[in-house]
Amino acid sequence: MERTIHINCDLGEGGKYDEELMPLISACNIACGGHAGNLETMHRTVRLAMEHKVEIGAHPSYPDRKNFGRDSIEMSEEDLRLSIEGQVLSLKQIAESEGGELTHVKLHGALYNDAAKDEKIARSVIECLEDLDADFKLFVPLHSKISELAMGKFDLVFEAFADRNYNTDYSLVSRAKENALITEKQRVFEHVFSIYNDKKIHTVSGPKIEAKADTFCLHSDTPSSIEIIKFLHKKLAEKGIGVKNS
């Protein structure tokens, strides 16, 4: 039996390559108004996902379109919960109106990173999503506060990043640093295959750390993302690994 790998991508963010990327991935995380996206782009991306039988996820963030949701924002717990609720429900309702369903939620940018290390923020996110009383999975990073607190409350999908470098504490190298991104296609493949096959992440400081990944994220705005994902398909196929498609 062929082994499979699950690849997700953040789409509906105003990028140029959504139509080319969608047939090559397993799941998409659709911007739902916080850092990017509007009703028109949500409808369009949902329809595209359904056409290619790709899992539909909500990609909520801090309400910060100016900085693309990549800066932490001081918000009250109530305001944060209301923002996340509005974003997720908006995408959920649009998916259902198109005849689809919301399968998962993945936080974006600074909110993703903050919920990974800040228990208060992680708890606010989880309580908000619990209140929605919806049956969806939660994409989370390994060894994070949000994964610890959400255990037993949601089906968790542990995520690794195909195109990002890691520190030894499992955090991503800051985008402010030159080595934050992995953009050379062979290096992306080696990084992904090491995590998938050997259960190891090669960190920027040298040591390898234990890894677990149920899904790999490739960012649509990474330079040469189309070339990279096509190369991944080719190299993974050579190893007898197919990209999962629902």
Per-residue confidence (pLDDT) for residue 1, from 0 to 100: 45
Per-residue confidence (pLDDT) for residue 56, from 0 to 100: 98
Per-residue confidence (pLDDT) for residue 134, from 0 to 100: 82
Q: Residue type for 7, please? A: I
Q: How far apart are CA 173 and CA 164, in angstroms?
A: 7
Q: How far apart are CA 45 and CA 154, in angstroms?
A: 25
* Token representation of residue 200: 């190891």
pTM of the model: 0.96
Per-residue confidence (pLDDT) for residue 246, from 0 to 100: 53
Is-contact 189 195, C-beta < 8 A?
no
Chunked mean pLDDT (size 10), the chain, 246 residues: 90 95 98 98 98 98 97 96 98 98 98 97 97 93 96 97 96 93 97 97 95 96 93 97 86
CATH class, 3-243 region: alpha beta
